[in-house]
Structure 1
Amino acid sequence: MKWDKELANRLGSSSDFQRYELGTEEKQLLFFYLDSLVNLTYIQNQLVDKLFQDQHPYPLTAVHTVDEAVQAILEGFIVIWSMSEQTAYKAISNGLESRSIEESENESNLRGPRDGFVESLNTNLSLIRRRLPNADLHIHIREIGRQTKTKVALLYVQGIVHPDVLHEVRTRLDTIDIDQVLDSGIVEQWIEDSWVSPFPQIQNTELPNKVLHAILEGRVAIMVDGSPFVLIVPVTFSMLFQAPDDYYDRWLIGSAIRIIRAVGALVALFLPALYIALISYHPGMIPTQLALSISATRAEVPFPSLVEAIAMEATLEMLREAGLRLPKMLSQTVGIVGGLVIGQAAVEAGIVSPVLVIVVAITAISTFLVPAYNASIALRMLRFPLMLLAGSLGLFGLILGALLILAHLVSLKSFGINYFSPIVPYRTKDWKDLLVRAPLPYLKERPEILHSFNSKRMNLQKRKKGW
């Protein structure tokens, strides 16, 4: 048989390629599959028996060419050749094991759904479909990667998303020409607007409710098979400091938490540089008693404030990275014990001042207030050039660095949307969901920046005053 020889030539060199022949006087069937991708128990106990009884447990799809058969086998299907019909089919094998749905370890919620995405694309799609049983939810799946042929799904709500945004996303996905796509991070780096910017222009998340909220605003979600991280586009800078909890609590609580996050982000970015500028160039701006106290603690420190601050921040980053790479049982020990031991030893040895240790500790805690991990990394990395500017020019250098960062943020775009909106350009309506989250009845319209076709998302006519 031609197909038998062709499949053996294409896949026979792999040890997991199997050819299985069964038949009776009336029916002869050949099974081709990779035993690393299929469930052998299912083949023996379910598929074979029901095929010979003409009971198909799943619909069989016809396969017309050898290339289609090879691709189906590589994707985990079982290719069945019927000798009597001289026709090939493919059947689902129920063989791929996947991680069960569980709570996300990277994004924790105090309130709201606890389930998170997994590595299976079909499972992730079901998490969205279950929450949004709407025919307007469109899902388009394509293959990206010359070698891996990874399935990438595009999710959006028809009638809400603007066609220009959708067209831009599709165009950028079509430009991806690469051998392997093993994670959504590869897609993210390929389609983002600015490759040199430290700020993420695409949001990634493991939370289905966060993706659902985004696509109902008029955004587009991108899922990659094999990755639990889903991409959301377009994104604005303010989205990186928002969490689903903000909408599940009352508006006063949500607004207070957002303000705390904003203050934490500013502290994480500017506090070490401000310390250097005040100590080195502007000690007169510090209250007298505090200045005398700081001066006494720095009397025996042999290094200038810039050197000791960069050394402590670099040490903290190394401890943080070590904690991420070590097993979970050891990571907490390294982070807590390592930080305490090194900080205490450095102070006792007179290498750094106790005030700097406090500054570095407050800065480290402030970075954890940013919900988006990739945004917190950007703030951590930008601290170092700001410290260099503050060590060279004092407060003037710090102000110069802040203006450069602000100018960069204003110049960025995410899929045609201004990254720093609704601040620049100024959009009054979108300020209701910026630093202060207005009460839900006032959030009746979708973000103006997205130009959604259906801008209204709630009807307040049925709600009586005084409820």
Structure 2
Amino acid sequence: MRKFRKNRRTPSNFQKTNSKGTEQQPIFESLEDNIQFIKDKTGNSDDITIRNIKIGENFNTSIAVIYTEGLIDSPSVQNFILETLMLDSQKTPFNTTNNVNSNSFLTYLEESILTVGSIKYIENYDELFTSLLSGNVIIFVDGYNESLSVGMKGGKDRGVNENTNEPSIRGPKESFSESLRTNTSLVRRKINNPNLWIENKKIGKETKTDVSILFINGIANEKVVEEVRTRLNRIDIDGILDGGYIEELIQDETYTPFPTIFHTERPDVTAAALLEGRVAIMIDGSPHPLLVPGLFVQFFQTADDYYQRADSSTLLRMLRFLGFIIALLGPSLYIALTTFHQEMLPTPLLISLAAQREGVPFPAFIEALMMEVTFEILREAGLRMPRAVGQAVSIVGTLVIGTAAVEAGIVSAAMVIVVAITAISSFVVSSFNLAIAVRMLRFPFMGLAASFGLFGIIIGLIALILHLCSLRSFGVPYMAPFAPYIGADQKDALFRLPHWGLSTRPRLISQKNVKREDTPPPKPKERI
């Protein structure tokens, strides 16, 4: 039981230092001092509501209820805090004369009056403001240098809607929202297991953003979990507004175009990653949790791969790998063949290409560069314009500019076809972050092809593969299970076996509790 604290403090002293070196102001015993300190600290902001009430046998106990409008669940505050304190407390009044030396009035409120589950004690203003501005309700009692923080988070949010960035033909349609608790509950609905552990942190000196670490105890690699904790604790920044802030601060390699952290907006994808042994990082205000380790092959996998038959999923996944190669090397191969290696083309095709390029004043590299830059500008314009006209502008602009450029003799028709196929192939890559990396690398490969032909492309590919093999994602090789080669994990890499064949988890991600199922393969039935 908590004791009544008699040492009165004044607003002018009694400051202490927390673990990060910042000063903490203890809570005053005087209710008026506490209210005035909060008003001064918040600039008397209009959204900070302070409600003074009196309770007790003779209404001689002063209480202040303080909360932030818009961040709390208003009906719950009215029904479970204000009404309870003002009405229900009168039915069982607290006898201050007999109990002041044994039971704290705050303990009496917690154990006998308040009908709320989440209650904790606060002793300093550093914790108090964090709690108050996170959507909790603060209860002060005159004469006590502690306060109660009551969990009443609410307010308006977007809710659970259909996912837009990762559409699925078959499977769940729900997506994450900007509410952290809503997102964790969506994962809880998928994984009904007490071993799904959630650890909360606050990051950002000014924003104090809530960040949650999710992992399944007994499946996730403990070294990866500890590494995630270490990197998050190392962050010292004034504010976190989205998961992209944290992604850049905790990723392994800074100077690489390839993403080493996977993010998604789908709860089912997050649940599947947790079941494989990965760790999820959820940020309050962001509908895209981060999944680590993020490996190269993971960016080619989609939710539909596991909701459809294995043979069709394998075909679609191979198409994505093919689209990745075309999007990366399409223009550069055309430049190398038409500039240096004409003998590799069939004679009729070579004559046709030569006829098309007869009036073009630019070499193939300049043609490809102009068309690629123009298409990237149109694509970015389509993304930034209002949704109602964005797609129309990008499609019409591409058609008009491409046709006009061919008719004006600036570029050849074959180059327009190559650029169009390359652009379509880049959309086949399921991950937007990986598609951006392909778009960035396409231009250096075009330069190598224009300078050295196929020899330059091969040198570029060797350098790219070496770079990919040197990457790590939270200590796990980025190119696993290809490099290092892990035969047992090839069942879900280039192709996917049926679910009865996916009996083990990825070896480098989950190093314990590797076995997933014991389901035997189906046996053919006798003819009836």
What interval of TM-score do these two structures reach, taking the shorter chain for normalisation?
over 0.9
CA RMSD of aligned residues (A): 1.8
Q: Is the Cα contact below 8 Å between 2:215 and 2:280 reproduced in 1?
A: yes
CA distance in 1 between counterparts of 2:364 and 2:256 reads 28
Matched, 1:280 2:311: no
Look up the match of 1:53.
87
Matched, 1:31 2:90: no
Q: Is the Cα contact below 8 Å between 1:152 and 1:222 reproduced in 2?
A: yes
Matched, 1:315 2:349: no
Look up the match of 1:270.
329
Look up the match of 1:465.
523
Matched, 1:120 2:179: yes
Call closer, same or farther: CA 1:165–1:28 in 2, change over 3 Å.
same
Question: After superposition, what is the alpha-carbon deviation per residue over 1:248-280, rounded to whole angstroms, capped at 9, x for unaligned?
Answer: 111100100011111111000001000111111
From 406, 411, 425, the counterpart of 1:366:
425
Look up the match of 1:195.
254
CA distance in 1 between counterparts of 2:433 and 2:407 reads 35
Q: Is the Cα contact below 8 Å between 1:194 and 1:412 reproduced in 2?
A: yes
Matched, 1:6 2:65: no
Q: CA deviation at 1:232?
A: 0.7
Deviates more, 1:4-13 or 1:231-240: 4-13
CA distance in 2 between counterparts of 1:238 and 1:405 reads 16
From 392, 401, 414, the counterpart of 1:333:
392
Question: After superposition, what is the alpha-carbon deviation per residue over 1:26-84, rounded to whole angstroms, capped at 9, x for unaligned?
Answer: 25332223334345565456632222123634244333333333222221222222348
Q: How does 1:54-203 map onto structure 2 within 5 Å?
A: 54=88, 56-59=114-117, 60-83=119-142, 88-203=147-262
Matched, 1:16 2:47: yes
Consecutive unaligned residues of structure 2, counting only runs of 5 or more, are 1-31, 89-112
Q: CA deviation at 1:8?
A: 2.1
Normalising by structure 1, we get a TM-score of 0.95
Look up the match of 2:438.
379
Deviates more, 1:384-393 or 1:34-43: 34-43
Deviates more, 1:267-276 or 1:67-76: 67-76
Look up the match of 1:389.
448
CA distance in 1 between counterparts of 2:302 and 2:183 reads 20
Q: Which amino acid aligns with 1:320?
A: R
Q: CA deviation at 1:22?
A: 2.9
Call closer, same or farther: CA 1:219–1:86 in 2, change over 3 Å.
closer
Deviates more, 1:42-51 or 1:210-219: 42-51
CA distance in 1 between counterparts of 2:441 and 2:465 reads 12
Q: Is the Cα contact below 8 Å between 1:206 and 1:228 reproduced in 2?
A: yes
Deviates more, 1:258-267 or 1:449-458: 449-458
Q: Which amino acid aligns with 2:82?
A: V
SS of the residue corresponding to residue 428 of structure 2 reads coil
Question: After superposition, what is the alpha-carbon deviation per residue over 1:124-170, rounded to whole angstroms, capped at 9, x for unaligned?
Answer: 00001111110111111111111111111111111111212212222
Q: Is the Cα contact below 8 Å between 1:37 and 1:95 reproduced in 2?
A: yes
SS of the residue corresponding to residue 445 of structure 1 reads coil
CA distance in 1 between counterparts of 2:225 and 2:154 reads 35
Matched, 1:423 2:482: yes
Q: Percent identity of the aligned residues?
A: 43
Q: CA deviation at 1:112?
A: 0.8
Look up the match of 2:471.
412
Deviates more, 1:81-90 or 1:140-149: 81-90
Call closer, same or farther: CA 1:326–1:217 in 2, change over 3 Å.
same
Look up the match of 1:208.
267
CA distance in 2 between counterparts of 1:92 and 1:421 reads 44
CA distance in 2 between counterparts of 1:451 and 1:41 reads 45
Q: Is the Cα contact below 8 Å between 1:6 and 1:66 reproduced in 2?
A: no
Deviates more, 1:343-352 or 1:32-41: 32-41
Call closer, same or farther: CA 1:447–1:87 in 2, change over 3 Å.
closer
Call closer, same or farther: CA 1:42–1:422 in 2, change over 3 Å.
closer
Q: Is the Cα contact below 8 Å between 2:277 and 2:509 reproduced in 1?
A: yes
Question: After superposition, what is the alpha-carbon deviation per residue over 1:372-405, rounded to whole angstroms, capped at 9, x for unaligned?
Answer: 1000110111000000010111111111111111
Matched, 1:256 2:315: yes
User: Deviating runs (4+, > 6 A) in structure 1?
Assistant: none
CA distance in 1 between counterparts of 2:122 and 2:348 reads 83
Q: Is the Cα contact below 8 Å between 1:3 and 1:66 reproduced in 2?
A: no
SS of the residue corresponding to residue 449 of structure 1 reads coil
Question: After superposition, what is the alpha-carbon deviation per residue over 1:272-301, rounded to whole angstroms, capped at 9, x for unaligned?
Answer: 000111111111211111111111111111
Q: Is the Cα contact below 8 Å between 1:117 and 1:206 reproduced in 2?
A: yes
Q: CA deviation at 1:9?
A: 2.2
Look up the match of 1:403.
462
Question: After superposition, what is the alpha-carbon deviation per residue over 1:291-316, rounded to whole angstroms, capped at 9, x for unaligned?
Answer: 11111111111111100101100111
Consecutive unaligned residues of structure 1, counting only runs of 5 or more, are none
Paired residue total: 466
SS of the residue corresponding to residue 508 of structure 2 reads helix
SS of the residue corresponding to residue 133 of structure 1 reads coil
Q: Which amino acid aligns with 1:312?
A: M
